[in-house]
Chains A and B, each alone.
Chain A
Amino acid sequence: MDFSSILPVTIGAILLAGLYATMSYGLALIYGVMRIVNLAHAGVIMLAAYTTLWLYTSFKLEPYLAPLIVVPLYFLLGMGMQRLIVRRIAGAAPIVSLLLLFAIWLIMQNLAYVIWTGNTQSILRPYTTRSIQIEALDLTIGWLRLGVFVAGLLTLIALQFFLSRTYLGKAIRATTQDRDSARLVGVDVEQISMIAFGIGIALSALAGSLFAMILPFNPDFGRVLMLKSFAIIVIGGLTSFVGIAAGALLLALAEEWSVGVLGLQTSLKDLVSFSALVLVLILLPNGLPALIGRMPSWRNKPTRSVSPVGSASPTGGGPK
């Protein structure tokens, strides 16, 4: 036990949680609109990391500027992927989309091995190790860690604004909550699916691009992060922004505390996340929202931000 490290470890966890939330929200958005789990998430995170590296080595683009290219690029890529591939299996059994996206991930991974080999890469710039010292609290915070946190947070806030204020954003939410009702008021749900898939992929890519600045990566990068994303959306509920932020924070805290405060070996850190996933699935299959729902004093408040996936009905009816 090392209590003096509680503050810096907690701050480190909060900064990490920003990125965790960004990548998990991409998965949740796609699930919400299309009811499919994007197993290519890991591949997109990894490819975006390499794209960031490639933009630097080939064009001398500073990695912190890479998201300006990576995000729109992967948005278009995601829309193309939905249009050409994923859309074709709409309405099929869940296993079909799981296998399809799993296969896409493997293809991405193998391509990366061919193009960049399996060697571990990292992006090192003069500012990589620069940090702020806060003497009074005996605290050191890496500039980059702070930067990627702010970038992730600002993106999520902008996305929230888009979803709650614009017609298009509201159409995305409506499609998530009741697809047929959305069609009945004139929402082209095929188009919405494509846009949502693009946004989801762009978020995964943003996370990958930001992670590339602070973590080493290889073609297998993204696998562990994807499993962590699953843990987060299982904890936080799939449709709720606040739930995902809370899930990301809880997971990051559990990881960082177990190592930094409780003194667990660093190599066991990921074990903490996956144990959390297993525990939550067994003890609390509907995540935090279910727990909150069980507390009587909370029940009467409007629970818009914490309602579980079950509130949306499956798409019924025949083909069209």
Chain B
Amino acid sequence: MALLEVRGIDVFYGEVQALWGVSFTVERGEIVTLIGSNGAGKTTTIKTVSGILTPASGTIEFDGQRIDRLPAHKVVGYGIAQIPEGRRLWPEMSVQENLELGAYAGEARGKRNETLKRVYELFPRLYERRGQAAGTMSGGEQQMCAIGRGLMSLPKLLMLDEPSLGLSPILVAEMFNIVREINSNGVTVLLVEQNVRHALELASRAYVLETGRLVLSGAAHELLNNPQVQSAYLGF
């Protein structure tokens, strides 16, 4: 049984439809990437899984349980963390407060101090800045804080929405290494990226979204050599 199983979801913003019958799966322990150009529906897909949006039809199962009707604050307790596009930290709260609130839900709260220690080990930089208002940090630091906040909920599935957005090339490489490290510790990863080459090199499988529909899927290394993908996303 797949960890995440999305079947035929249609999603609307008011009257406007953004996703048409999107289906995909993420297996336990995998890194799966979701790619597509601006406005393709990647963020919409991730927000629907996390419960910020509700699909008009279709189902989402996580770990064998239906989650598509649950509000976002309940979904996180099942073990799904979304790292939103653009970090979306609480800018006036300190780094440590941001991280601690990541453990707000369910069992994570009781294990907060332990998890916090592990997050600080993964991101020593955040430990140095723990008292600083999150909104005053650099983009890279904020991204680390956003990932750290997601890890604080002890997720089984970590969904990252364009973590490399606005980072320098060195930081992008570092960010991908961190994702790899998190995955090697047993966390399944669903990665949305504009940085298609990096994403395909990291992931085992990939899905391609175009204007709200899935148009292509397969092993990541195959998509890397797919002429269609190469011309559309890799600039060949």
Instruction: Report whether chain A binds chain B.
Output: yes
Q: Which of A36-44, A77-85, A169-177, A254-262 contacts B (4 or more CB under 8 A)?
A: A169-177
Q: Which of A46-54, A62-70, A181-189 contacts B (4 or more CB under 8 A)?
A: A181-189
User: Chain B: which residue is nearest A185 at the CB level?
Assistant: B104
B165 to chain A, nearest CB (A): 16
- In the complex, the answer to whether B73 meets A317 with C-beta atoms within 8 Å is no
A142 to chain B, nearest CB (A): 38
A161 vs B125: C-alpha distance in the bound complex, in angstroms? 28
Interface size class, chain B: 35 or more
- In the complex, the answer to whether B52 meets A320 with C-beta atoms within 8 Å is yes
B157 to chain A, nearest CB (A): 13
B188 located at the interface, meaning its Cβ lies under 8 Å from any Cβ of chain A in the complex: no
A171 vs B104: C-alpha distance in the bound complex, in angstroms? 9
- In the complex, the answer to whether B47 meets A317 with C-beta atoms within 8 Å is yes
B-side contacts of A296, CB under 8 Å:
none
- In the complex, the answer to whether A180 meets B84 with C-beta atoms within 8 Å is yes
A319 located at the interface, meaning its Cβ lies under 8 Å from any Cβ of chain B in the complex: yes
How many A-B residue pairs have C-beta atoms within 8 angstroms? Tell me. 98
B136 located at the interface, meaning its Cβ lies under 8 Å from any Cβ of chain A in the complex: yes
A313 vs B88: C-alpha distance in the bound complex, in angstroms? 9
Give the residue among A173, A189, A317 with the most B Cβ atoms within 10 A: A317
**Beta-carbon contacts of B89-110 to A below 8 Å, as 1s and 0s?**
1111100010011111110010
- In the complex, the answer to whether A239 meets B92 with C-beta atoms within 8 Å is yes
A-side contacts of B135, CB under 8 Å:
307, 311
- In the complex, the answer to whether B73 meets A302 with C-beta atoms within 8 Å is no
A318 vs B14: C-alpha distance in the bound complex, in angstroms? 7
Interface residues of B in 63-86 (CB under 8 A from A): 71-74, 76-77, 81-82, 84
A-side contacts of B77, CB under 8 Å:
186
A59 located at the interface, meaning its Cβ lies under 8 Å from any Cβ of chain B in the complex: no
A186 vs B54: C-alpha distance in the bound complex, in angstroms? 16
B51 located at the interface, meaning its Cβ lies under 8 Å from any Cβ of chain A in the complex: yes
A167 to chain B, nearest CB (A): 7
- In the complex, the answer to whether B51 meets A187 with C-beta atoms within 8 Å is no
User: Chain A: which residue is nearest B105 at the CB level?
Assistant: A186
- In the complex, the answer to whether A183 meets B71 with C-beta atoms within 8 Å is yes
A220 located at the interface, meaning its Cβ lies under 8 Å from any Cβ of chain B in the complex: no
- In the complex, the answer to whether A184 meets B81 with C-beta atoms within 8 Å is yes
- In the complex, the answer to whether A173 meets B81 with C-beta atoms within 8 Å is no
A-side contacts of B74, CB under 8 Å:
186
B153 located at the interface, meaning its Cβ lies under 8 Å from any Cβ of chain A in the complex: yes
- In the complex, the answer to whether A185 meets B76 with C-beta atoms within 8 Å is yes
A181 vs B99: C-alpha distance in the bound complex, in angstroms? 12
- In the complex, the answer to whether B89 meets A320 with C-beta atoms within 8 Å is no
B167 to chain A, nearest CB (A): 20
B12 located at the interface, meaning its Cβ lies under 8 Å from any Cβ of chain A in the complex: yes
- In the complex, the answer to whether B92 meets A177 with C-beta atoms within 8 Å is yes
A-side contacts of B54, CB under 8 Å:
318-320
- In the complex, the answer to whether A184 meets B101 with C-beta atoms within 8 Å is no
A60 located at the interface, meaning its Cβ lies under 8 Å from any Cβ of chain B in the complex: no
A136 vs B93: C-alpha distance in the bound complex, in angstroms? 46
- In the complex, the answer to whether B101 meets A174 with C-beta atoms within 8 Å is yes
A184 vs B83: C-alpha distance in the bound complex, in angstroms? 9
A125 located at the interface, meaning its Cβ lies under 8 Å from any Cβ of chain B in the complex: no
Given contacts A173-B93, A304-B92, whether A317 and B52 have CB atoms under 8 Å apart is yes
- In the complex, the answer to whether A184 meets B76 with C-beta atoms within 8 Å is yes
- In the complex, the answer to whether A184 meets B91 with C-beta atoms within 8 Å is no
- In the complex, the answer to whether B89 meets A184 with C-beta atoms within 8 Å is no
- In the complex, the answer to whether A180 meets B52 with C-beta atoms within 8 Å is yes
- In the complex, the answer to whether B47 meets A174 with C-beta atoms within 8 Å is no
A169 vs B202: C-alpha distance in the bound complex, in angstroms? 40
- In the complex, the answer to whether B72 meets A183 with C-beta atoms within 8 Å is yes
- In the complex, the answer to whether B73 meets A187 with C-beta atoms within 8 Å is yes
- In the complex, the answer to whether A184 meets B84 with C-beta atoms within 8 Å is yes
A180 vs B152: C-alpha distance in the bound complex, in angstroms? 17
A-side contacts of B91, CB under 8 Å:
177-178, 307, 311
B219 to chain A, nearest CB (A): 30
Given contacts A177-B92, A318-B11, whether A186 and B52 have CB atoms under 8 Å apart is no
- In the complex, the answer to whether B72 meets A320 with C-beta atoms within 8 Å is yes
Beyond known contacts A177-B92, A185-B102: 9 more, CB 8 A cutoff: A173-B93, A180-B52, A185-B76, A185-B104, A185-B152, A186-B153, A187-B101, A317-B52, A318-B11
In the complex, 26 of the A-B residue pairs with CB atoms within 8 angstroms, ordered by the A residue number, are A167-B104, A167-B109, A170-B93, A170-B97, A171-B101, A174-B93, A178-B88, A180-B72, A183-B51, A183-B52, A184-B76, A184-B81, A184-B84, A185-B101, A185-B102, A188-B73, A302-B132, A302-B133, A303-B133, A304-B133, A307-B91, A307-B135, A317-B47, A317-B52, A318-B14, A320-B52
Question: Nearest 9 A-B pairs (CB), nearest first?
Answer: A186-B105, A183-B72, A177-B90, A186-B76, A186-B104, A181-B88, A185-B104, A304-B133, A318-B53
